[in-house]
Amino acid sequence: MVAPLKVGLAGLGTVGGAVARLLQQQDSNALANTLAVRCGRPIELVAVTARAKSEMDALGIRPVRFVSSPAALATDPEIDAFVELMGGEGDPAKSAIEAALGAGKSVVTANKALLARHGVALAALAERSGCALNFEAAVAGAIPVVKTLREGFAGNTFERVYGILNGTCNYILSRMEGEKLSFADCLREAQKLGYAEADPTFDVEGFDTAQKLAILASLAFGVQVDPDAVYVEGISSLAPEDLEAAAELGYRIKLLGVAVRTEQGIEQRVHPTMVPLDSPIARVMGVTNAVSLDGAGFPPITLVGPGAGGAATASAVVTDLADIARGVRAMPFGRSVAQLAGSRRAPMQRHEGGYYIRLQAVDRPGTFATIARHLADEQISLESIVQRRRNGAPHGGSDPDGAQSPAPVILITYATTEDAVRKALREIKNRGVIAGNPQVIRIEKN
């Protein structure tokens, strides 16, 4: 019988505990050891490390050998593969993975922060050691998007990769739209349910999505992973009236991570986005994630599934272990590190597309003429204009400049550039014909 793949697991939190239970359930399955059948050898959890040995007892898993530190487990002579589920972009996760690869042991990690910051260096170390560095669980949970990009479409080129990569934000936006609640109210609800952290900044301001997008961009376009190359906006400025207006115009607002090939390079951006209601990505609600792939030689493909949670993430971790057990050694980012192009931030000023703009127009003669003039100066054409009363109902007057009180004005532009929109809005604001800051949301077509 082929010897089992012996696994050392660092971290016994929600995901680590789920991985341990899944491996032990497979091992004790009375019908068949599914992993052994599929991989040609068993996968055995032989050692763990955590903050305290008592964590193993609390999980209700069968006892295995407890190792005092991640570094000691990473170089333990009795393990073949090291699973890192501690998190954090620095030590002890980073040094433990480096030690494991240096000792000739393959690594599985769900650590998006570490990969976003140090993924290229770790991939180079994996190449030199001849070991696997697998990270399916780092992006979109149970959705097999890493394997799809790295192996499933190895012969294809991509023009755009985009998706919903943060379940917390998608839950908040779904509640805001469905129940006409404010961002603050939905955030509090998400925190009560455990979908959002006590400090939700990393999620709601788009940084979590940016880290995941940087990894996907590397896999899709062959660029070095660099979260600093990603333009980032969050969802905290969105109001219920934005989601209501989007629905009336045939759109839904999602926080998207978008990587697209342009003449200036690979544009990577995270921001609230209006997507057509009939698009697959628009139908994804709640804490679910989705990734759409636009490539040469096939129609767009959208992968949908749970993006977080212990069971979903554990499934991806164990799938990575199964590849190691089979002897699969794919290059971490789909090609040699030496062949990864440098990553630089493509200027958002040159981004082209349609825009949703919500302004608070003041009650003053000539307001609309001023707005129209500065849009025309930047060669911005409008697809539609809607003025709403303060209560949100469409304005019924024939002349917008004759409105009796300040009211939101919604503009939908034809394709234009980010730079043109920003210049026009800056001039409009300087003329004193709008109150507050404009709300700007980009429109992503199918």
- pLDDT tens by residue, 370-426: 999 999 999 999 998 887 655 544 443 434 444 456 788 999 999 999 999 999 999
For residue 199, pLDDT beyond 60: yes
Backbone angles phi, psi at 34, to 5 degrees: -55, -45
Residue 362 confidence (pLDDT) above 80: yes
Window from 45-54, 67-76, 99-108, 215-224 with minimum mean pLDDT:
45-54
Active site residue 212: yes
Burial 181-216 (b: 16+ CB within 10 A, else e): bebeebbebbeeeebbeeebebbbbbbbbbbbbbbb
When pLDDT is cut at 50, 70 and 90, the band that residue 27 belongs to is low
What is the CATH number that goes with domain 349-443? 3.30.70.260
Per the model's pLDDT, the better-predicted residue between 319 and 349 turns out to be: 319
Beta bridge pairs of residue 352: 417
Q: Render pLDDT for 286-315 as a digit per residue (tens, 0 to 9).
A: 999 999 999 887 888 999 999 888 889 999
Q: What is the mean pLDDT of the chain?
A: 90
Mark 386-407 as b/e (b = at least 16 C-beta within 10 Å).
bbbeeeeeebeeeebeebeebb
For residue 357, pLDDT beyond 90: yes
* 54: pLDDT strictly greater than 90: no
Residue 398 has what pLDDT? Answer: 38
The first and second tokens of residue 13, run together, are 């939190």
Q: Mean pLDDT check: name the lowest of 23-27, 138-142, 221-225, 332-336.
A: 23-27
Say which residue, 184 or 391, is predicted with more confidence: 184
The pLDDT tens digits for 126-171 are: 999 999 999 999 999 889 999 999 998 888 899 999 999 999 999 9
Query: Given this model, what pLDDT does residue 446 score?
Result: 67
Q: What are phi and psi of 379, to 5 degrees?
A: 60, 40
pLDDT at 225 over 90: yes
Domains of the chain, residue spans? 5-138, 152-306, 349-443
What b/e sequence results for 52-64 when a residue is b if at least 16 CB atoms lie within 10 Å of its CB, and e otherwise? eeebbeebebeeb
**Residue 107 and residue 79: Cα distance in Å, rounded?**
11
pLDDT at 31: 45
Determine phi and psi for 178, rounding to 5 degrees.
Answer: -70, -30
- C-alpha–C-alpha distance, residues 391 and 256, integer Å: 29
Helices (H), 112-206: 112-129, 145-147, 167-179, 183-192, 201-204
Give the alpha-carbon dihedral of 375, 377, 380, 381, to 10 degrees: 90
- Single out the catalytic residue among 147, 212, 423, 445: 212
Given a cut of 60, is residue 279 above it in pLDDT? yes
Whole-number Å distance between alpha carbons of 373 and 378 = 9
Overall average pLDDT of the 339-351 stretch: 80
Angle, helices 112-129/93-102, rounded to nearest 10 degrees: 10
Task: Give strand pairing partners of 319.
Answer: none
Q: Could you tell me which CATH number the domain at 5-138 has?
A: 3.40.50.720
Amino acid at 212: K
Q: Please state the rounded mean pLDDT for residues 43-56.
A: 90
**How far is residue 7's CA from residue 109's CA, in Å, rounded to a whole number?**
13
How much is the pLDDT for 397? 40
- Distance of alpha carbon 304 from alpha carbon 317, whole angstroms: 18
Per-residue pLDDT, 445: 78
Task: Determine the pLDDT at residue 62.
Answer: 86
DSSP string, 63-97: P-EE-S-HHHHHT-TT-SEEEE-S--SSTTHHHHH
Please report where in the chains the tokens 């040469």 appear, as a residue.
296
Q: How confident is the model at residue 393, as a pLDDT?
A: 46
Q: What is the dihedral of CA 307, 308, 314, 319, to 10 degrees?
A: 10
Given a contact cutoff of 8 angstroms between Cβ atoms, the answer to whether 318 and 35 are in contact is yes
Best-predicted range by mean pLDDT (1-10, 24-33, 90-99, 336-345) = 90-99
Name the pLDDT band for 26 (thresholds 50, 70, 90): confident
pLDDT of 431: 92
Nearest Cα to Cα of residue 286 among 177, 431, 361, 153: 177
Specify the CATH architecture of the domain 152-306: 2-Layer Sandwich (3.30)
DSSP string, 120-137: HHHHHHHHHHT--EE-GG
